[in-house]
Amino acid sequence: MNSFEISNVWHPYARVPNEVPTHLVKSAKGVYLTLENNHKVIDGMSSWWSVIHGYSNPIINSAMKSQIDSMSHVMFGGLTHQGAIDVCKKLVNITPKGLNKVFLSDSGSVAVEVALKIAIQYWHNKNHNSKTRFVTPRGGYHGDTFGAMSVCDPVNGMHEIFSGVLPQHFFVKRPTKGNSEAALNDLESTLKVNHNSIAAMILEPIVQGAGGMNIYDKDYLVGVRKICSQYNILLIVDEIATGFGRTGKLFGCEHANISPDILCLGKALTGGYMSMAATLTNDDVAQNVGVLMHGPTFMGNPLACSAANASIEVLLNSKWESNIKRIEQILSNELMPLQSIKSVKEVRIIGAIGVVEMKNNINMKDAQDKLIDMGVWLRPYGKLLYTMPPFVTKDDELYKITSAMKTVVSNL
């Protein structure tokens, strides 16, 4: 490791000086990362779930090279450009019915911040000034900025030390496989008493991501949509991790055939090339919000838009549905048998997501070192060892990922 890197560079969820070694990447192509010692590893994480087409996709590369020659950035206040118009059109066309107003931003956390602000402005402009709080299932994760932190799990999340300064919201029973009715009953009980102070419910559909890789039933989403409408609560769905095919549907909402009032997108929006996000709403929300009090400097960045437009086209023109089914089948066949190991609590699979939850915490450094030796890049956390590979990962590469996971799990 570089001495300056160890002493001076702050990494996510880490301290400086670094205690856990980082690995210098020299290049990336397809599903492979080449480390500084020329050791190649398969990226089973899609660089935090975003690089769905693999690295150095020629179509996205070409689109960005062309764009940078005309302009890499222009402010979105009072100006526009064709790339932004095109990406907004694409998002309106492919997202759930009714979501036809698009606010572009530069990260998933900001997309959530925008959604929360939209909900509060909506009710303020309808003269319901008391509706300023939010309700969300326990176990959720929506980002690291202050508004987003306030709707993350308050106990088991990563932001407990900030609880004294965060806005206080309502947390309801976490949905899990088979408990939809109990979780919905808890939600309805909370709304029955508190709906006059609640602006919106926010959740991750089908899969709670960084909060624990929890997969739940579509019945919960169906019930949530009905209850939110019944109690005059907006529904915000955070598809930053689940959007663009990851769960086997283009968007997680589609498992339950519901449409939220507000939708947050990010991560795979640009195929992992650039940081970009979007918040979509329906006509009713947009008309009542009016002037939205938010305006990121890099909103609608042309270079990011070129990547997003190309990435969406690559996805839609591919056999992504059959690819996800193929990945899901291999992950199921290879990982589900691990449930028989005593140290394993549960194995969960959906789409291109494979999760092994252990009964005890995993030593991340030791596990990661073993995985790298076996030619695989994964990043365990807490009790979880999981993979969310690029959609272009071939069968033999998937077997290499699952083999490495099985080896690590068997030795824990």
Amino acid at 284: D
Q: Tell me whether residue 284 is one of the annotated catalytic residues.
A: no
Cβ atoms < 10 Å from Cβ of 372: 17
Choosing from 267, 273, 386, 400, the catalytic residue is 267
Q: Tell me whether residue 267 is one of the annotated catalytic residues.
A: yes
Choosing from 13, 69, 342, 396, the catalytic residue is 13
Prior bond of 17 cis (ω within 30°): yes
Nearest of 59, 1, 53, 11 to residue 29 by alpha carbon:
53
Choosing from 43, 238, 249, 400, the catalytic residue is 238
Q: Tell me whether residue 13 is one of the annotated catalytic residues.
A: yes
Task: Please tell me the distance from the alpha carbon of residue 287 to that of residue 100, in angstroms, as a whole number.
Answer: 12
Amino acid at 109: S
* Tokens coding 151: 């709707």
Q: Tell me whether residue 238 is one of the annotated catalytic residues.
A: yes
Task: Please tell me the distance from the alpha carbon of residue 410 to that of residue 406, in angstroms, as a whole number.
Answer: 6
Strand order in the sheet with 25-29: 25-29, 32-35, 40-43, 376-377
* Tokens coding 224: 């949530």
Choosing from 101, 106, 131, 141, the catalytic residue is 141
What is the largest distance, in Å, between two alpha-carbon atoms of the chain?
62
Task: Give catalytic residues, as residue numbers.
Answer: 13, 141, 238, 267
